[in-house]
Amino acid sequence: MKQTECTTILVGKDATIDGSTMIARSEDGGRTIIPERFDVVMPKDQPKHYESVISHQKIDDKDLLPNPLRYTSAPDASGENGIWAAAGINSDNIAMTATETITTNSRIQGIDPLLEEGGLGEEDFVTLTLPYIHSAYEGVERVGYLLEKYGTYEMNGMAFSDKNEIWYLETIGGHHWAARLIPDNAYVIAPNRLNIDEFYFDDDDFASSKDLKDLIEEYHLNPDLEGYNLRHIFGSSTIKDAHYNNPRAWYIHNYFDPDFGGEPSDQDQPFICHANRKISIEDIKWAESSHYQDTPFDAYGDQGSAEQKKTFRPIGINRNFETHILQIRNDVPEKIAGVQWLAFGPNTFNSMVPFYTNITTTPASFQTGPKFDLNKIFWLNKLTAQLGDTNFRVYGELEADFEQKSLAQCHKIQHETDKEAEKYSGDELQDKLNEANQKMADTVYNNTVELLGNMVNEGHGLMTLKYDLLD
């Protein structure tokens, strides 16, 4: 089974710099490299019959609804463990990211256990949901239906967005779930823990399995004196959370709001938060690349001891294999509103590319294969990251220059394309957006090759095995 431990960031439309909704996640893996690619799934290619590779769960054909929508995705390159579509935007400009692996406790597991046979998981949710939904809330309804009918073998969080709303859903036990609407002026940081805290069963901004409140009461699951806090009821509060999960949220909270304060290990950091400024794409990419800079916990820094540098799990890590920001814009026509910002490999040495999602194909350099191939950006990024890791003090500045240059060039192409798109529609527009995506992919690929060359040149004199008569 593929292991994924990620970091989700959600930003409401009134909290972003341009009024768009943004949902983001780094897709992280285990010790084995998991190559990822960028696909667009046409309606004719959507599965007509479906069986999970991992759990062997068969889906009733009637649940594979007619007339599926076109959608983008970022699946595993090998397909050995199933599709694992990860994230995408469909032709109605509805976005979905799935999933964030989360924690639970023995109390709920004793009532509604995770399935030991069958059920759905991260492998399945995007493929079975995104082509069939027409709003963010429909994503909640669809996943809720699937969970109640087929169940799940793991705890997961996932997010849905349209141009107005963002909903975040967490699975609870084998068949239950809860979701809440993210306020327009708020942001969320969701690491690998159960994240939803305050919950109101009689409020339209919250949704859940119909019997969830009754289940809490019947089995005496609520430890609080008043109200409902789902993290307290269904989640964990362990040493692993204190070292693996909570510090990631704490660091980004203090980046978005320096007055946030607190301690890295705090177990009760709020789910819904507010930044001291409008949040940009660059802010989210920086957050997803972060490794506790300017603290004793930075593995690349010079402030802490060897022990401190290994105390907390960072967001930017060698196990980042794919990172996306799904943006639904409100300041452009609907035909170009959906943008899937995408980066492959460790976030410390890569750059986002803003791909239009009203497309029929994807750039060749993002069509990753399972074997090492420097013509594919995934493998090129892995190489630059592994070389950069050997001396971040030297190579980090080169990466920062590369990333700023790449983002600026992509922004320019995007601005030009947005203006040109007014002239086109239908197939002709899709051709233009395919061309723009290719241009941006080529730009970032060429910049990455240049970065690698600069790193080789800079590193030549840093090699240990050297002998120079002038030394």
pLDDT of 15-54, one tens digit each? 999 999 999 999 999 999 999 999 999 999 999 999 999 9
The pLDDT of residue 4 is above 80 = no
Edge to edge, the sheet with strand 353-356 lists: 187-190, 7-11, 21-28, 320-328, 338-344, 353-356
Contact predicate 177/144, CB 8 Å: yes
**Residue 227 Rama label (left phi>0; alpha psi -120 to 50; beta):** left
Q: Average per-residue pLDDT in the chain?
A: 97
Residues 2, 356, 367, 86, Cα dihedral to 10°: 10
Q: Is residue 388, in this structure, part of any structural domain at all?
A: no
Query: Would 398 be classed as within a structural domain?
Result: no
Q: Which residues pair with 227 in a beta bridge?
A: none
pLDDT over threshold 90, residue 152: yes
Q: 96 in a domain, yes or no?
A: yes
pLDDT band per the 50, 70, 90 thresholds, residue 377: very high
At residue 2 the predicted structure's pLDDT band, cuts being 50, 70 and 90, is: low
Assigned domain for 145 exists: yes
Look at residue 423 and tell me if it is in a domain. Answer: no
Residue 134 pLDDT exceeds 80: yes
- Distance between start and end Cα atoms, the chain: 52
Instruction: Provide φ and ψ at 140, rounded to 5°.
Output: -60, -50
Q: Is residue 451 part of a domain?
A: no
Q: Which residues are identified as catalytic?
A: 6
Is residue 448 assigned to a domain?
no
Q: What is the pLDDT of residue 93?
A: 99
pLDDT bin (cut points 50, 70, 90) of residue 155 is very high
Q: Is the peptide bond before 390 cis (omega within 30 degrees of 0)?
A: no
For the segment 178-230, what is each residue's pLDDT rounded down to a tens digit? 999 999 999 999 999 999 999 999 999 999 999 999 999 999 999 999 999 99
Domain count, the chain: 1
Residue 391 has pLDDT above 70, yes or no: yes
Share of the chain above pLDDT 70, in %: 99
| pLDDT of 1 above 70 | no
Convert the pLDDT of each residue in 199-210 to its tens digit.
999 999 999 999
Range of the domain at 273: 7-371
Q: Is the pTM of this model over 0.75?
A: yes
Instruction: Give me the mean pLDDT over the 338-346 stretch.
Output: 98
- Across 255-276, average pLDDT: 97
Check which CATH number belongs to the domain holding 20 and give it: 3.60.60.10
**Residue 377 falls within a domain, yes or no?**
no
